[in-house]
Chains A and B, each alone.
Chain A
Amino acid sequence: DSGVTQTPKHLITATGQRVTLRCSPRSGDLSVYWYQQSLDQGLQFLIQYYNGEERAKGNILERFSAQQFPDLHSELNLSSLELGDSALYFCASSVVGLNGDIQYFGAGTRLSVL
Chain B
Amino acid sequence: LAKTTQPISMDSYEGQEVNITCSHNNIATNDYITWYQQFPSQGPRFIIQGYKTKVTNEVASLFIPADRKSSTLSLPRVSLSDTAVYYCLVGDISSGSARQLTFGSGTQLTVLP
Q: A residues touching B (Cβ–Cβ < 8 Å)?
A: 2, 4, 31, 33, 35, 42-45, 48, 50, 55-58, 88, 90, 92, 94, 96-108, 110
**Chain B interface residue count, Cβ-Cβ cutoff 8 angstroms:** 28
Alpha-carbon gap, A14 to B94, bound state (A): 38
Chain B residue, CB-CB nearest to A107 = B43
Contacts A56-B93, A102-B34 given; indicate if A33 touches B101 (C-beta within 8 A).
Answer: yes
Chain A residue, CB-CB nearest to B93 = A101
Asked whether, in the complex, the Cβ of B32 is within 8 Å of the Cβ of A48, the reply is no
Asked whether, in the complex, the Cβ of A42 is within 8 Å of the Cβ of B104, the reply is yes
B 23-37 to A, binary, CB cutoff 8 A, 1 in contact else 0: 000000000101010
Min distance, Cβ B103 to any Cβ of chain A, angstroms = 4
Asked whether, in the complex, the Cβ of B105 is within 8 Å of the Cβ of A42, the reply is yes
Chain A residue, CB-CB nearest to B99 = A56
Alpha-carbon gap, A96 to B41, bound state (A): 26
Min distance, Cβ A103 to any Cβ of chain B, angstroms = 7
Residues of the B chain whose Cβ atoms lie less than 8 Å from the Cβ of A88? 41
Alpha-carbon gap, A24 to B98, bound state (A): 22
Of the candidates A35, A42, A50, the one having the most CB atoms from chain B within 10 angstroms of its own CB is A42
Residues of the B chain whose Cβ atoms lie less than 8 Å from the Cβ of A2? 43, 45
Alpha-carbon gap, A100 to B50, bound state (A): 8
Residues of the A chain whose Cβ atoms lie less than 8 Å from the Cβ of B103? 35, 42-45
Contacts A42-B87, A42-B106, A99-B55 given; indicate if A56 touches B46 (C-beta within 8 A).
Answer: no
Residues of the A chain whose Cβ atoms lie less than 8 Å from the Cβ of B41? 88, 108, 110
Asked whether, in the complex, the Cβ of B50 is within 8 Å of the Cβ of A99, the reply is yes
Of the candidates A2, A44, A56, A104, the one having the most CB atoms from chain B within 10 angstroms of its own CB is A56
Residues of the B chain whose Cβ atoms lie less than 8 Å from the Cβ of A96? 94-95
Alpha-carbon gap, A55 to B51, bound state (A): 22
Alpha-carbon gap, A2 to B43, bound state (A): 9
